[in-house]
């Protein structure tokens, strides 16, 4: 008999039929004698719909009120899930985040969990109840409703699994697990049996978003092993856990593609101390998220100058250009080239730490496809390249074939 935390995402509770399907899955574990805590997200589209309603009234609604509003999405889903369990004679009780003892800081719309006191959950489990907890929400010590940032139900589940010392934490979604690449682009992509927290985080930051990154960081910090699997079939999913020695046998765990980036190049930037600081401080102040940065030292004689390139999220490109244009008189660079016809291709794997020649093989594979590399960045377990958007999918298929098969 185990204590199991199961999280069902928005698509898994998208309609009453799907909610009944969730109830049947929960009942299956419950009837084997397990204690089951279920975390649910809002039905798919509901959170977006609520945000849209508020923005119809005013563009920047008050964040406290947004939290009160958005928390209703999950509150609907927990009650319906409890009702679906009752309909098949399983005793179930729904709890809001606050009722479940989830205490957060007061940063509305992106609150952090301070602590969890799961006293009520334990009492209900002891009484033989299935406990349904609203994901994505909590309460400040002063009793204000808060939410944990988009995708925050994952965090609720991981944090509850840690607080309850659950034997099993299952994240149910609409895909079978974590794949070596997006199967819609690479038909030969393979579902991974296991992946390390760090690989999962690097894949997420390079475009393969299966789970909210903060929740994976939380799981890593507290050592919560979890499984990502589908609520629509019984296939085993992918286990996410701390890296083990044999994980390094595989050089590349996955390939990901981020088509949501744009590139800005400042030509002939004066090569002297303080310029990069000035540029990136200004971008940061404008809340533009910068990902890759490439700059070379200048070797010319005369007034030294260098080209400076960086990438930003595609929707931020115009904002970034405005910030840069405003700096031009002060810094005195040449022209600015901005393009959103790029993609970032990344290979990720803890095996890179102990294998050589990985970068060479990647670049060679791209060269054979006639793909030009515009920028390169590396970490201990990742190599990313910026390439032409038009060739991105072709490149991804070739790289997957070269490293994974
Ligand atoms: N309903 C919230 C959202 O759409 C939280 C979640 O789905 O995890 O972001
Ligand atoms: Mg979601």
C-beta of 237 in contact with ligand 1 (< 6 A)? no
What pLDDT is stored for residue 80 in this prediction?
Answer: 98
DSSP 21-35: HHHHHHHHHHTTT-E
Instruction: Please indicate whether residue 41, judged by its CB atom, sits closer than 6 Å to ligand 1.
Output: yes
Decide: 40 and 26 in contact? Cβ < 8 Å.
no
Tell how far the Cα of 87 is from the centroid of ligand 1, in angstroms: 26
pLDDT attached to residue 209 = 78
Instruction: Name, in order, each residue with C-beta under 8 angstroms of 312's C-beta and a sequence gap of 6 or more.
Output: 261, 262, 264, 283, 288, 289, 290, 291, 320
Distance 170 CA to ligand 2 centre (A): 15
Q: Is 348 exposed, middle or buried (0-12, 13-18, 19+ CB in 10 A)?
A: buried
Which pair of tokens denotes residue 274? 């303080």
In this prediction, residue 320 carries a pLDDT of: 96
Q: Which residues contact 357 (CB under 8 A, 6 or more apart)?
A: none
Proximal ligand: closest to the CA of 154:
1
For residue 346 and ligand 1, the question of a CB distance below 6 A is answered with no
Is residue 153 in contact with ligand 1, taking CB distance under 6 Å?
Answer: yes
Q: Whole-angstrom Cα distance, residue 200 to residue 213?
A: 8
User: What pLDDT does 25 receive?
Assistant: 97
Looking at residue 390, its pLDDT comes to 97
Q: Is the CB of 157 within 6 Å of ligand 1?
A: no
CA of 153 to the centre of ligand 1 (A): 6
Task: Give the pLDDT score at 275.
Answer: 93
Q: Is the CB of 138 under 6 A from ligand 1?
A: no
271 C-beta neighbours (distance < 10 Å), count: 18
Residue 103: partners with Cβ closer than 8 Å, 6 or more residues away: 113, 114, 115, 116, 117, 138, 139, 140, 141
Rounded to the nearest angstrom, the distance between the alpha carbon of 105 and the centre of ligand 1 is: 19
d(CA 172, CA 28): 15
Pocket test for ligand 1, best of 44, 45, 47 (most atoms within 8 A of CB): 47
Residues 6+ apart with CB under 8 A from 36: 4, 6, 26, 29, 30, 130, 131
Q: What is the predicted pLDDT for the residue at 399?
A: 98
Asked whether 215 lines ligand 1 (CB < 6 A), one says no
Interval between CA 9 and ligand 2 midpoint (Å):
5
106: nearest Cα among 54, 145, 136, 159:
145
- pLDDT value at residue 202: 93
Report CA(102)–ligand 1 centroid distance (Å). Answer: 16
207 lines ligand 1 (CB under 6 A): no
Task: Give CB contacts under 8 A, 24+ apart, made by 127-131.
Answer: 127/91, 128/91, 129/91, 129/92, 129/93, 130/26, 130/30, 130/36, 130/37, 130/38, 130/85, 130/90, 130/91, 130/92, 130/93, 131/36, 131/37, 131/38, 131/92, 131/93, 131/95, 131/100
For ligand 1, atom 4: residue with the closest CA: 47
Task: Compute the chain's Rg from CA coordinates.
Answer: 24
Asked if residue 138 lies in contact with residue 132, where contact means CB atoms within 8 angstroms, the answer is no
pLDDT of the chain, 405 residues: tens digit per residue:
899 999 999 999 999 999 999 999 999 999 999 999 999 999 999 999 999 999 999 999 999 999 999 999 999 999 999 999 999 999 999 999 999 999 999 999 999 999 999 999 999 999 999 999 999 999 999 999 999 999 999 999 999 999 999 999 999 998 999 999 999 999 999 999 999 999 999 998 777 778 889 999 999 999 999 999 999 999 999 999 999 989 999 999 999 999 999 999 999 999 889 999 999 999 999 999 999 999 987 776 677 889 999 999 999 999 999 999 999 999 999 999 999 999 999 999 999 999 999 999 999 999 999 999 999 999 999 999 999 999 999 999 999 999 999
Bin 389: left if φ > 0, else alpha if -120 < ψ < 50, else beta: alpha
Site to probe by mutation for ligand 1, drawn from 11, 43, 72, 152 as the one with most ligand atoms within 8 Å of Cβ, is 152
The token duo for 385 is 């390249």
Cα dihedral across residues 216, 159, 193, 21: positive or negative: negative
CA 59 – CA 53 distance, rounded (Å): 10
At 302 the pLDDT is 75
Determine whether the shortest distance from the Cβ of 10 to ligand 1 is under 6 A. Answer: yes
Ligand 1 pocket test: pick from 13, 40, 137, 151 the residue with the most ligand atoms within 8 Å of its Cβ: 151
Ligand 1: residue whose CA is nearest its atom 5: 151
Choosing from 136, 146, 172, 209 the residue with most ligand 1 atoms within 8 A of its CB, the one to mutate for a pocket test is 136
- Cα 44 to ligand 2 centre (Å): 7
Closest ligand 1 atom to the C-alpha of 136?
5
Compute the distance from residue 290 Cα to the ligand 2 centre, in Å.
25
């Amino acid at each position: 008999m185990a204590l199991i935390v199961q999280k069902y995402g928005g698509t898994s509770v998208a309609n009453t039929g799907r909610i009944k399907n969730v109830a049947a899955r929960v009942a299956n574990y419950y009837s084997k004698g397990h204690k089951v805590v279920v975390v649910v997200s809002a039905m798919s589209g509901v959170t977006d719909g609520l945000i849209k309603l508020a923005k119809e009234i005013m563009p920047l609604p008050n964040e406290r009120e947004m939290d009160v509003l958005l928390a209703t999405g999950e509150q609907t889903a927990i009650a319906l899930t409890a009702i679906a369990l009752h309909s098949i004679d399983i005793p179930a009780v729904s709890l809001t985040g606050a009722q479940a003892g989830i205490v957060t800081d007061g940063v509305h719309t992106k609150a952090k969990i301070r602590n969890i006191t799961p006293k009520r959950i334990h009492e209900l489990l002891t009484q033989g109840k299935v406990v349904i907890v609203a994901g994505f929400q909590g309460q400040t010590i002063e009793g204000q409703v808060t939410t944990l940032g988009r995708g925050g139900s994952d965090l609720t589940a991981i944090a509850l699994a840690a607080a309850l010392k659950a034997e099993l934490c299952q994240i149910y979604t609409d895909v079978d697990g974590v794949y070596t690449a997006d199967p819609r682009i690479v038909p030969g992509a393979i579902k991974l049996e296991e992946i390390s927290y760090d690989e999962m985080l690097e894949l997420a930051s390079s475009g393969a978003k299966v789970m909210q990154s903060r929740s994976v960081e939380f799981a890593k910090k507290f050592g919560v092993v979890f499984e990502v699997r589908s609520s629509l079939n019984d296939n085993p999913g992918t286990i996410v856990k701390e890296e083990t020695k044999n994980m390094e046998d595989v050089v590349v765990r996955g390939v990901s593609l981020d088509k949501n980036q744009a590139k800005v190049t400042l030509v002939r930037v004066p090569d002297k101390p303080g310029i990069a600081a000035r540029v990136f401080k200004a971008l940061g102040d404008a809340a533009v998220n910068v990902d890759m940065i490439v700059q070379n030292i200048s070797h010319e004689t005369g007034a030294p100058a260098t080209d400076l390139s960086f990438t930003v999220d595609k929707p931020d490109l115009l904002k970034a250009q405005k910030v840069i244009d405003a700096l031009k008189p002060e810094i005195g660079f040449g022209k600015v080239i901005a393009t959103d016809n790029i993609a970032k291709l990344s290979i990720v794997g803890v095996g890179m730490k102990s294998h050589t020649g990985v970068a060479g093989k990647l670049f060679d594979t791209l060269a054979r496809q006639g793909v030009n590399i515009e920028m390169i960045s590396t970490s201990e377990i990742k190599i990313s390249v910026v390439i032409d958007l038009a060739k991105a999918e072709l490149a991804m298929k070739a790289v997957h074939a070269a490293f994974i098969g």
